[in-house]
Chains A and B, each alone.
Chain A
Amino acid sequence: MMKSTQQLEQQLKRHSKAAKLEIWGKVVSFSALILIVAVVVGIIGFVASKGLATFFTNHVSLWDFLSGKSWNPGVTDANGKPEVGALPMIMGSFLITVLSAIVATPFAIGTAVFMNEISPNKGAKILQPVTELLVGIPSVVYGFIGLSVVVPATRAIFGGSGFGILSGTCVLFVMILPTVTSMSVDALRAVPRYYREASLALGATQWQTIYKVVLRAATPGLMTAVVFGMARAFGEALAVQMVIGNAALMPGSLVDPSSTLTSVLTTGIGNTVMGSLQNNALWSLALVLLLMSLVFNLIVRLIGRKGRLQ
């Protein structure tokens, strides 16, 4: 008798099959999520530890790194300090990013307005599929076209080698155009229809409605689109590397060969020995790149928060 009550108790207290499955599922799916977080932490941790070695192990001062103008990590200058001035690359990256965003923004927003406000029909039929397809085109293809079309054209018009920031800007402009356009379309779509109806009912023309109502209401979304485009331009490696000329010099003009953080990384990291100063200095560039992408992320967040409050 005693035994059977115990058995019954055990049976009642045991997890059912479904409950076990539930726990198992929860654990497995949570571990998948944790794995992704671990990857993020791992990437930031590894790159940071490598990138900081330049400053802590090789005792390069941060200021020299950020403001020095000559990049030649294998060589020491007159004072016996290694030449690891990253300013030319940082300048190159920022110039190319800002310039391509300045050129791409009016085109992207203009096209988005056209697609959403003026001719939704043509927009959906022609522009939408084309931009969607172009978002997916691999960056090396953009780089190759830059190399075979843009560089010769720049050479013919401005002389010189044709490699440089101008060519890089042209390539990045075309590359981020579809991304910024399709995100701008999303931003415009989020503006409620009755905003437009109210404005038109007040007697405003279509342009007045677009300019004074729709664009103002969509500003946070449009800014997010542009920042995303800039982040993509800043982090793009191969397409830029193929057309910029890869000379680690301060950019004297837009048509001189120069370099960006990403271009130096792609060409350099395979030619240096792990743990050497040359190698560590490259990882410091990677760290700058990583930090900048975090900053872009932060900006997007801030814009989003501000947009919500209004």
Chain B
Amino acid sequence: MMNPKTQNKVAIGTLYGVAGLVVLILLALLGYILVSGLPQLSWHFLTAPAKAFLKGGGVGVQLYNSFYLLILAMLISFPIALGAAIYLYEYAKDNWVTTTIRTAIEILSSLPSVVVGLFGFLFFVVKLRLGFSILSGAFALTFFNLPLLTRSIEDSLRTIDTTQREGGLALGLSRWEAVTRVILPAAVPSILTGVILSAGRVFGEAAALIYTAGQSAPALDFTDWNPFNISSPLNPMRPAETLAVHIWKINSEGIMPDAKAISSGSSAVLVLAILLFNFAARYLGKRLYKRLTSA
């Protein structure tokens, strides 16, 4: 039997070892992505269209699709999430209806993204005949995003001191006005942080997209901005493979001779984008907070 002091030393030492090992694994992971991916990056890689059977293709179309889908998905999901969060924060009574609704939101957030994607396939692609299209993909991403975004906006609203709301009500504002004119502006910085962080998650999502936005990226004509033309980048009815789907696709098909190099480069782009989203969330949040509160 060790005495407690030696035991303490051994245990703390072990914990140092465990934490060190975890840091090592995580840093190795990040390092591997960046070291193998960064050399692939070039202007050509980021803008050129992909080639199916030849070397030297790029990910231009996929990168554009990722951003277009992200923006569409955020445009659809943000107003819904905002409305839902406002209701939960301001109007929802503490009864079984609210509990049920909260449970439903929790269930939606815990559903595997592949299930959300399959539902999107069944409902939008097949039932509503939208086909494999940006629109189907954007709806699937919306479902994936809604519960997390709702919760993050509601949390943001809750961080604002209730005296502000009470002050508004005491001045004769209606509850809706108190929320939208007093609480909401004060919560903008932290809402924005939540939105950007969820954008990062949406940007890298693939499982919900392979059967909704499709796995092919038709060539785009970046001079044609009429949304009704099939080769227009703005057309929401065309199939659109995103960067994350692209990585999966070329690795599981394996007909591209430089699939590994392209995947490394794409992974690095994805990780850099996530990094960027993270920093932007922090920086903009702080900046806006200073501006709006004159602190």
Contact = CB atoms under 8 A, between A and B. Distances in A.
Contacts of B114: 235, 237, 262, 265-266, 286, 289
B104 A140 contact: no
Contact of A293 (B15, B115, B277): B115
A25 B176 contact: yes
B16 A118 contact: yes
A190 interface: no
Interface in B107-154: 107-108, 110-116, 118-119, 121-123, 126, 143, 146-147, 150
B234 interface: no
Contacts of B8: 205-208
B115 A47 contact: yes
Contacts of A25: 86, 176, 179-180
B188 interface: no
Contacts of A2: none
Nearest to A210: B11
A274 B121 CA distance: 11
B91 A30 contact: yes
A302 to B, nearest CB: 13
Interface of B is mostly: helix
Interface string B195-210: 0010011011111001
Interface in A34-53: 35-37, 39-43, 46-47, 50
A266 B26 contact: no
A71 B86 CA distance: 48
Given A32-B84, A47-B118, A139-B206, A174 B25 contact: yes
Interface string A203-219: 00111101100000000
Contact of A118 (B15, B101, B173): B15
Interface in B9-62: 11-12, 14-16, 18-19, 21-23, 25-27, 29-30, 32-33, 36
Contacts of B105: 36-37, 40
Interface string B157-172: 0000000000000000
A110 interface: yes
B26 A178 contact: yes
Contact of B91 (A29, A37, A139, A241): A29
Interface residues of A, number: 86
Interface stretch (B67-75, B225-233, B266-274, B287-295): B266-274
A1 interface: no
A231 interface: yes
B282 to A, nearest CB: 10
A39 B146 contact: yes
A12 interface: no
Interface in A105-153: 106-108, 110-111, 113-115, 118-119, 126-127, 130-134, 136-141, 143-145, 147-149
Given A18-B174, A237-B112, 7 more contacts: A28-B83, A30-B91, A40-B107, A42-B119, A174-B25, A238-B207, A266-B114
For the complex of A and B, list the 7 residue pairs with the smallest distance between their C-beta atoms, beginning with the closest.
Answer: A235-B112, A138-B204, A32-B83, A25-B176, A110-B18, A114-B19, A29-B87
16 contacts: A21-B174, A24-B176, A35-B80, A36-B147, A37-B101, A40-B107, A47-B118, A47-B122, A118-B15, A136-B278, A144-B267, A206-B8, A207-B11, A238-B206, A238-B207, A296-B110
